[in-house]
Amino acid sequence: MARALHRNSNRNDDIFVNVDLGAIPDTLFESELFGHEKGAFTDAKATKPGRFELANKGTLFLDEIGNIPLPLQAKLLTVIERRQVNRLGAKTTKDIDIRLICATNASIYEMVETGEFRQDLLYRINTVEIELPPLRERIEDIPLLADHYLKIYGKKYKKRIRKVSAAAMKELEMYAWPGNIRELQHAIERAVIMSEGSMLEPDDFVLYNKNKNKSDIDLETYDLDQVEKTVIKKVLDKTHGNISHAARELGLTRTSLYRRMEKHGL
């Protein structure tokens, strides 16, 4: 979606810089985003521009914006408002001109309520807000995406696979896709690699709990508290007790998940 916005903007001839904030250690956030001068810290052996500078005149995409620590959120807000960046160790600022796109799968408004995300920063970055539904809620996209990735990986692995069979496509459309498009992409790639035929069949796909339907929760009650407890237990089991991963999959903050776990005695 971010790349599509860039390609259709008046900046499409300039650079698109993608930053996965979930993959940057807290200690490197400021250096990665804003850059540093030589000698600014122990390992700064050379001057390095940050991602904001690299994206000048183009588009900067900050993925997983909810992962930015609070102290850095204030600095990010200042950079966005002033349209200037100050490298670590630098005495002067540099003007920047970027299109900023941010994304998150966290409950960002709930993070604001719990004090984990600055309200003023949220209002500064969500001038235009696009809610992208999960893949399971737009199954009409699955055949288009499957065909797209089939062409890519058929060419990459030199496989003459014409299409996904009707039976296999039905299974793909019935699957819940907890990993969304990225999971579908990997499923198609794996199927192309393993397939020996001219068409992808159901047995070519390895899907998590593929025999269960989209709800994949056998509800014995409609009591909302019990339903919530059941869902949380299932996700905790799936993520082997990893609170960060479970919170991300549930669309909650860690604090909110802990609160719900305490409420249900989990």
pLDDT 10s digits, 147-170 = 999 999 999 999 999 999 999 999
Torsional sign, CA 168, 169, 173, 176: positive
CA distance readout (Å), 131 to 126, 250, 255: 11, 16, 23
pLDDT at 213 over 70: no
Using alpha carbons, select from 192, 247, 250, 213 the residue that is nearest to residue 139.
213
Q: Residue 236's domain is classified under what CATH number?
A: 1.10.10.60
Mean pLDDT of 99-122: 92
pLDDT at 166: 94
pLDDT at 13: 95
Mean pLDDT of 181-206: 93
In a domain, 119, yes or no: yes
In a domain, 120, yes or no: yes
Of 204, 235, 254, the position where a domain reaches its end is: 204
CB of 93 closer than 8 Å to CB of 84: yes
In a domain, 217, yes or no: no
pLDDT at 217 over 60: no
Domain span including residue 60: 2-125
| Same domain (yes/no): 119, 20 | yes
pLDDT at 220: 56
| Same domain (yes/no): 112, 17 | yes
| Same domain (yes/no): 181, 234 | no
In a domain, 178, yes or no: yes
Of 94, 125, 156, the position where a domain reaches its end is: 125
pLDDT band at 25 (very low <50, low <70, confident <90, very high): confident
Of 125, 146, 162, the position where a domain reaches its end is: 125
- The percentage of residues in the chain with a pLDDT greater than 70, rounded to a whole number, is 94
| Same domain (yes/no): 114, 145 | no
pLDDT at 165: 95
| Same domain (yes/no): 53, 164 | no
Most confident of 42-51, 203-212, 217-226, 242-251: 42-51
- Total number of domains in the chain: 3
pLDDT band at 76 (very low <50, low <70, confident <90, very high): very high
| Same domain (yes/no): 13, 88 | yes
| Same domain (yes/no): 91, 189 | no
| Same domain (yes/no): 108, 66 | yes
pLDDT band at 221 (very low <50, low <70, confident <90, very high): low
Q: Which long-range contacts (CB under 8 A, 24 or more apart) does 123-129 make?
A: 124/77, 124/80, 124/81, 125/65, 125/80, 125/100, 126/102
| Same domain (yes/no): 139, 184 | yes
Q: Residue 198's domain is classified under what CATH number?
A: 1.10.8.60
Tracing tokens 């807290």 back to the chain, one arrives at: 26
In a domain, 213, yes or no: no
Beta-bridge mates of residue 17: 60
| Same domain (yes/no): 62, 167 | no
In a domain, 219, yes or no: no
| Same domain (yes/no): 63, 176 | no
Could you give the CA distance from residue 126 to residue 253 in angstroms, rounded to a whole number?
19
Burial string for 154-179 (b: 16+ CB within 10 Å, else e) reads beeeebebeebeeebbebbebbbbee
Mean pLDDT of 188-194: 94
